């Protein structure tokens, strides 16, 4: 059925522990309603009454533990039910994590040490399209439903779910993740890498992970509640070579104590051998859901573009970004890394090349910046840029070299909160 073919409202009777999988088109609205029973979308319960609009392009599963009748209204790209899901294993995993949180809370109340009062730090790893982000959402929502406030850490710079691509970020999850609005965005802690691929400058990626971990560690030390609730960490789908090395690095940097491996035996075995033997880290293998939708690189590229658009225009295209003009002299744009290192042959005998891939480079504003995203750093001085998180992003819409003026859009009106900007390779073209 094409987008134009209308579909009448239809009801599905779901048996206990089964789900209705639905793919929403980019431009046809679809809504869902609970008729009887109880059901959830990735860990967040459907309200007992009323229609819930499902965001365009989303691929969801409406799962029921005890049976439900649900109704769909609108055109979908595909919809089918399945009673083969890994949900029981997932919720059992959640129960184990929950027990660890309770233990950590008790230890904290009894004045236990840092180790004992630390709740689970779960890192979810696996190849692309194994359902990592989805499992993270479920674990977070189930925990939040029980009153915990776990911290969500998203290290996926390609298909992250907290903010625009090219970032690593963290945010506390205080209630089950909203079906429409997604991850709450009041207080995210965001570090800007600026590219969707870590191999462009893996050292910078590692440094930013370290900075994020350091900041979270500081927050936890003053907050026993969030310390006990722990973290759920989402990672990239790149699990070989450098990707694997970065996973090991992430496990170490964030002091993960539970590694959940989705859908790949080999990766599980490798990680188990690499980390479990040396420390008290549990490396657990979990089945992936057959419902996870495969996305090719073109689709991923397009999703990245939409994520950038959403930042400025809202998920439902309901925000109007503000256009502004600054003089070149009002801002300073920097690039992290990219400093050329001298080849060994050009150095005096015996000297080691000074490789500093995290060097800060000032960049001239040029027309090349049109259509790119710039991040606004919280740094007070340029030297602090790499260790600082960012306040938000602007999208460059024009550069006038003659008049030395840069035109941009931002989600909020008013002056930029800082004059220090970080350049990126992220682009988005207004259609």
Q: Which residues bind ligand ATP (CB under 6 A)?
A: 21, 59-61, 126, 128-134, 156, 159, 237, 289, 291-293
| Cα separation, 5 vs 75, whole angstroms | 8
Closer CB to ligand ATP, 162 or 333, in the complex: 162
Residue with token string 């001239």: 364
Closer CB to ligand ATP, 130 or 169, in the complex: 130
Closer CB to ligand ATP, 40 or 156, in the complex: 156
CB 59 within 8 A of CB 51: no
| Residue nearest to ligand ATP as judged by C-beta position | 291
* Cα 407–chain centre separation: 29
> How long, in residues, is the chain?
431
Rounded to a whole number of angstroms, the minimum distance from the CB of residue 426 to ligand ATP is 17
* Cα 374–chain centre separation: 19
Rounded to a whole number of angstroms, the minimum distance from the CB of residue 90 to ligand ATP is 10
Closer CB to ligand ATP, 131 or 321, in the complex: 131
Closer CB to ligand ATP, 136 or 373, in the complex: 136
Rounded to a whole number of angstroms, the minimum distance from the CB of residue 135 to ligand ATP is 7
How is the beta sheet containing 51-54 ordered, strand by strand? 10-14, 68-74, 30-37, 51-54
| Cα separation, 235 vs 152, whole angstroms | 11
Rounded to a whole number of angstroms, the minimum distance from the CB of residue 68 to ligand ATP is 16
Closer CB to ligand ATP, 87 or 423, in the complex: 87
Rounded to a whole number of angstroms, the minimum distance from the CB of residue 267 to ligand ATP is 12
Rounded to a whole number of angstroms, the minimum distance from the CB of residue 143 to ligand ATP is 17
Closer CB to ligand ATP, 117 or 169, in the complex: 169
Rounded to a whole number of angstroms, the minimum distance from the CB of residue 240 to ligand ATP is 13
């Amino acid at each position: 059925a094409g987008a134009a073919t209308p579909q009448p409202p239809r009801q599905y009777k779901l048996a206990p522990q089964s789900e209705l999988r639905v793919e929403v088109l980019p431009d046809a609205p679809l809504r869902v309603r609970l008729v009887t029973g109880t059901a959830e979308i990735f860990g967040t319960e459907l309200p007992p009454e009323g229609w819930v609009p499902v965001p365009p392009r989303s691929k969801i599963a409406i799962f029921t533990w005890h049976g439900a009748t649900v109704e769909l209204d609108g055109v979908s790209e595909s919809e089918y039910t399945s009673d083969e899901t890994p949900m029981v294993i997932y919720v059992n995993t959640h129960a184990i994590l929950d027990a660890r949180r309770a233990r950590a809370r008790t230890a904290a109340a009894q004045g236990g040490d840092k180790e004992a009062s630390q709740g689970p730090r779960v890192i979810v790893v696996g190849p692309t399209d194994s359902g990592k982000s989805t499992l993270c959402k479920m674990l977070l929502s189930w925990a939040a439903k029980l009153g915990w406030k776990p911290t969500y850490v998203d290290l996926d710079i390609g298909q992250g779910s907290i903010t625009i691509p090219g970032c690593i970020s963290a945010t506390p999850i205080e209630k089950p993740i909203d079906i429409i609005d997604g991850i709450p965005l009041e207080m995210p802690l965001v570090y800007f890498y600026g590219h969707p691929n870590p191999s462009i400058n893996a050292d910078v990626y590692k440094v930013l992970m370290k900075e994020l971990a350091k900041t979270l560690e500081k927050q936890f030390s003053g907050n026993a509640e969030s310390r006990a609730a722990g973290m759920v960490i989402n990672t990239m789908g790149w699990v070989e070579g450098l990707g694997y090395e970065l996973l090991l690095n992430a496990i170490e940097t964030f002091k993960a104590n539970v590694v959940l491996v989705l859908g790949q035996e080999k990766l599980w075995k490798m990680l188990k051998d690499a980390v479990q033997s040396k420390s008290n880290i549990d490396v657990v293998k979990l089945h992936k859901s057959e419902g996870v939708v495969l996305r090719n690189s073109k689709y991923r590229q397009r999703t990245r573009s939409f994520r950038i658009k959403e930042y400025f225009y809202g998920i439902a295209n309901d925000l109007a970004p503000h256009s502004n003009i600054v003089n070149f002299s009002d801002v300073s744009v920097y690039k992290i890394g990219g400093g050329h290192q001298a080849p060994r042959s050009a150095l005096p005998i015996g000297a080691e090349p000074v490789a500093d891939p995290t060097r800060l480079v000032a960049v001239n504003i040029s027309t090349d910046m049109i259509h790119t995203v710039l991040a606004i750093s919280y740094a007070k001085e340029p030297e602090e840029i790499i260790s600082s998180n960012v306040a938000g992003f602007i999208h460059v819409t024009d550069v006038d070299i003659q008049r030395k003026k840069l035109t941009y859009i931002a989600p909020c009106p008013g002056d930029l909160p800082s004059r220090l900007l970080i350049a990126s390779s992220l682009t988005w073209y207004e259609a």
